Structure 1
Amino acid sequence: MLRWSRVPVLRRVEPFVVAILSAVLVAALLPAGGAVATGFSWGTTIGVGVLFLLYGARMAPAEAVAGLRNWRLQGSVAATTYLLFPLLGTGLALVVGHVLDDGLVAGLLFLCALPSTVQSCVVFTAVAHGNVPGAVVSATVSNLAGIGLTPVLAALLLGSTGAGPDAGAIGRIVLQLLVPFLLGLLLGRWIGGWVRAHKGRLTLLDRGVIVAVVYAAFSRGVRQGVWSEVTPAEVLVVLGCAALLLAVALTFAWWVPRWWGASRADRVTTAFCGSTKSLATGLPMATVLFPPHVVGLVVLPVILYHPLQTTVCSFLAGRLGRQR
């Protein structure tokens, strides 16, 4: 269902973005503590496991195999997501590392290690008349690879920041994310059809869990006094870095595929699948990968990147769709 994509995001504020920003505001005014914080911790842990189980169950293996045959398209998306972004993030960290808190630098690097979005990049591709099946496969493969690649890249990129993943992060990833995902793959034969048929309703569950993760992470930061250390200037620097990352990634993913004679449809797919970063995967994964005292800072760049990519890519998708 692509109905919401017919109305450019610039004409309205995406409800999901409003919900996330509201969660941040509520956490700042009424941070969860005591039994409530414990309840949120258990609830979000279980919710994240359910999300990854559903991600596994809704995969269609036959479609994935067919899409993988376009290896140049998939390679271009993977190179943008897992090579270009980490290189850009490393360079940015060297430039802004002396003016940002270690947690914010870690957040920028973590952002660069994330997989692409799933739903939105496919929607943008459809609006711009790109290769939609290729986008579905690219997004699926990117997120599947991200379960293993993101923690490894994060550990490599963040080793010197002092805010990297702790020693038990990989074990928690396996237990809380990979095991449910594999279980979903196994159960997909029986429940996959039902999950795909109710995708719209289950999206509310996805987003509800993510909003809860944001509230819990920011509440923890408020209680620990983390946000008193972040200045408006630092937030602006992070936002500027996010804008630069998006601009370079879109430019690279649009023009470089011309070197191997990619069609317009494949270039559209590469641009949107390669430049977007998954909030749905990033926020739950951050709570698993990072120590509790830095999670609030780490997720800030991811949260800022999401509305930026949604607005810019919505505008570009609409423009490309009209140009065809």
Structure 2
Amino acid sequence: MTISRLRSFVPVDPYVAAIVGMVGLATLLPLHGQGTVIGGYATDAAIALLFFLHGARLSTTEALVGARHWKLHLVIFLSTFALFPLLGLAAHALAPHLLTPALWAGVILICILPSTVQSSVAFTSIAHGNVSAALCSATASNLLGIVATPLLAGVLLSSHGGFSGNAALDIVVQLLLPFVAGQLSRPLIGSWVARHHAMLGLVDRGSILLIVYTAFSDGVSHGIWHQVNATQMAIVLGLDALLLAIVLLITNFGSQLLGFSRADRIAIMFCGSKKSLASGLPMASVLLAGQSVGLIVLPLMLFHQIQLMTCAALARRYAGASEANSGDAVPALVEAH
């Protein structure tokens, strides 16, 4: 059996496997002493570089060009920055003692992050949805997330023991200023960035791997694996899966009730249900400074893999239905599972 065929049966993203590998490396060989200091400086630099590249890549014009689809974009933004947080708060209110405060902070963190760009557009394309609308909404979600996520974190995570009171200045220095600098540099380096997107993608992914390693090194030093057991891991997995399933159902059937076309409904469902690991990990390192970041981002890393596997299966399902049926009906989520 070839590797490609094996991956079709075991849909584990290689990048997620690399992240898991960094967690294992941090567990076996965590940073200590001067290494921790150097790792902290390297992480700060990596985060600044990451958001500079995001600013250089994201075109404000592209984010605004789909203004005629404002209803579609509004539904996606409400799903990303309103529905998700409400569901997270409801889950915490119903079972506040189900998880530790750090893990609950991680679940809330998932709920306030922006959508992804690459996977949202890719899955929408595979499922024969409105790709241009998906691109505009996902890009705008990331632009909006630079401001919305820190604001939501200040309101929601402060009550869950996860938000640092000194985070405002860190947000400006490590996230906002590099992002704005990237946006301002687009006339100079925008075309170069577009030509070297593959190489810069490696920079992105390498930065995230470094952030994971340093975060979990700190967690291991503070006994992270003594703070979470198999039962709590299973509960986090279950909460992540339930959260994703509810949002997928609401965006799917809600967009039908609102009268959107099949292509638009696909874009709404895939963009409105995604959460960005690439933005989430560096944001967590800044927003949750001084906290047990390794433990807090654990729910996000699990959610990332669940959303990739679930949405890959759904996209293939919708693509098959589109080829077999030229009608306007989107396959029911219940059947897709």
Is the partner of 1:292 in helix, strand or coil? Answer: coil
Q: Which residue of 2 aligns with 1:93?
A: 92
Q: Which segments of 5 or more consecutive residues in structure 1 lack a partner in the other structure?
A: none
Alpha-carbon RMSD across the aligned residues, in angstroms, is 1.7
| Separation in structure 1 between the aligned mates of residue 7 and residue 65 of structure 2, nearest angstrom | 31
Q: Which residue of 1 aligns with 2:264?
A: 266
User: For the Cα contact (< 8 Å) 2:11–2:309, is it kept in 1?
Assistant: no
Q: Which residue of 1 aligns with 2:275?
A: 277
Matched, 1:136 2:104: no
Q: TM-score, normalised by structure 2?
A: 0.91
Q: CA deviation at 1:196?
A: 1.6
Q: CA deviation at 1:63?
A: 2.4
Moved more, 12-21 or 57-66: 57-66
Amino acid at match of 2:297: V
Q: CA deviation at 1:178?
A: 0.7
| Separation in structure 1 between the aligned mates of residue 11 and residue 227 of structure 2, nearest angstrom | 33
Moved more, 33-42 or 242-251: 33-42
Matched, 1:13 2:7: no
Runs ≥4 residues deviating over 4 A: 5-12
Structure with greater Cα Rg:
2
Q: CA deviation at 1:230?
A: 1.0
Q: CA deviation at 1:8?
A: 7.3
Q: Which residue of 1 aligns with 2:318?
A: 320
- CA distance 1:230–1:72, change in 2 (3 Å): same
Q: CA deviation at 1:10?
A: 4.8
Q: CA deviation at 1:35?
A: 2.0
- CA distance 1:298–1:318, change in 2 (3 Å): same
Q: Which segments of 5 or more consecutive residues in structure 2 lack a partner in the other structure?
A: 323-337
Q: Share of identical aligned residues, percent?
A: 45
Is the partner of 2:291 in helix, strand or coil? Answer: helix
Return the match for 1:212 from 187, 210, 213: 210
Corresponding pairs, count: 319
User: For the Cα contact (< 8 Å) 2:162–2:291, is it kept in 1?
Assistant: no
| Separation in structure 2 between the aligned mates of residue 106 and residue 61 of structure 1, nearest angstrom | 31
Q: CA deviation at 1:13?
A: 2.6
Amino acid at match of 1:309: Q
Q: Which residue of 2 aligns with 1:104?
A: 103
Moved more, 217-226 or 287-296: 287-296
Q: CA deviation at 1:61?
A: 3.3
| Separation in structure 1 between the aligned mates of residue 149 and residue 275 of structure 2, nearest angstrom | 12
Q: CA deviation at 1:100?
A: 1.3
Moved more, 55-64 or 281-290: 55-64
Moved more, 257-266 or 7-16: 7-16
Amino acid at match of 2:202: L
User: For the Cα contact (< 8 Å) 1:10–1:314, is it kept in 2?
Assistant: no
Q: CA deviation at 1:12?
A: 4.4
Amino acid at match of 1:194: W
Is the partner of 1:316 in helix, strand or coil? Answer: helix
